[in-house]
Amino acid sequence: MKIGQPSELPALVTQAKTSASQKAESGPSAATSAKTSAAQGPQSAGVAVTMSTQARALEKSSRNEGADVDTQKVATVRAAIQDGTYVVNPEAIADKLLSNAQEMLKRTTS
């Protein structure tokens, strides 16, 4: 598990911005040829994603709330992972997964 942003994300964002600015500068005829070549070549990324109004409302409400993150604990765990001294307790993870699954099953049957 890696803490922080994946290294591919900034490259994809930069690539998308560069592509958009090149289309805007080159005019409509270049955009048409770019679309044609994009349709013929392999697609790198581009899946349309839509969010429901409920998801948007949840996102807005979570942004308005204060962050309940213990930054000192995060820094401590990050340092332990980098040092190779972080110890994972598989029994605790398994117990919590099972209890969460049981809770979800109770909610669906109720």
Comparing C-alpha atoms, which of 41, 46, 37 is closest to residue 12? 46
Full 3-state SS string of 8-58: HHHHHHHHHHHHHHHHHHHCHHHHHHHHHHHHHCCCCCCCCCCCCHHHHHH
pLDDT at 57: 85
94 assigned to some structural domain = yes
Number of structural domains the chain divides into: 1
User: Does 110 reside within a domain?
Assistant: yes
pTM recorded for the entire structure: 0.33
pLDDT in tens, 48-101: 888 898 888 888 776 666 667 889 999 999 999 999 999 999 999 999 999 999
Indicate if the pLDDT at residue 104 is higher than 60: yes
Q: Domain limits at 91? A: 69-110
Q: Would you state the pLDDT for residue 82?
A: 96
Whether 80 is in a domain gets the answer: yes
Q: Is the pLDDT of residue 3 over 50?
A: yes
DSSP 7: T
As a whole number of angstroms, the distance between CA 75 and CA 6 comes to 18
pLDDT digits (tens, 9 = 90+) for 4-58: 555 555 554 555 555 555 555 555 554 455 455 444 555 567 888 888 988 888 8
Is 92 contained in some domain? Answer: yes
State the pLDDT at residue 28.
52
Q: Cα separation of 5 and 11, whole Å?
A: 11
